[in-house]
Amino acid sequence: MKIERFGQYLINSGIVDEIALFEALNIQRKKTTPIAKVALYEGMLTMKQVFTILNYQTDTIKMFGEIAMDLGCLTEGDVEKLLSIQRESRPRIGAILVEMAKMSQTQCKDMLEKYHKNKRSSLS
């Protein structure tokens, strides 16, 4: 069973429309730190390794982490750690929609509570 994401839940609840969510997702994407930069900050890759990986990436559809593993620069565990750090630092869709004045802070909090309650009950 596929779990509905928070943005889709807001659309289905009539809180925001598809255009607002699309704009918020675009903002989120732009504000998300690229995995290469996270790897540099964490000291897991050198600048030379990052450029090597990026050069390989121009000729393939593989993701940065996949190429880094293929080249022996990172392990699968390293990539999972970097993706986790990236995910935790990503701005939340609800917060972005509040910044965009598409819903209030109180409304966002209430909808998050309802969303998590709904998600838990659908897993039972």
Rounded percentage of the chain residues whose pLDDT exceeds 70:
97
Contact (Cβ atoms closer than 8 angstroms) between residue 98 and residue 104: yes
114 shares a domain with 66? no
In angstroms, the Cα distances linking 31 to 6, 24, 35, 110 are: 18, 11, 12, 25
- 14 sits in the region (left: phi over 0; alpha: psi -120 to 50; else beta) called left
Determine the length of the chain: 124
40 shares a domain with 83? yes
Question: Which domain does 50 fall in, by range?
Answer: 33-89
| Residue 1 confidence (pLDDT) | 54
3 shares a domain with 49? no
In angstroms, the Cα distances linking 80 to 45, 52, 115 are: 14, 20, 26
| Residue 2 confidence (pLDDT) | 67
Within a domain: residue 123? no
70 shares a domain with 50? yes
53 shares a domain with 79? yes
What's the pLDDT tens digit per position in 25-72?
A: 999 999 999 999 999 999 999 999 999 999 999 999 999 999 999 999
75 shares a domain with 39? yes
Q: Residue 31: which H helix or E strand, with range?
A: helix 18-31
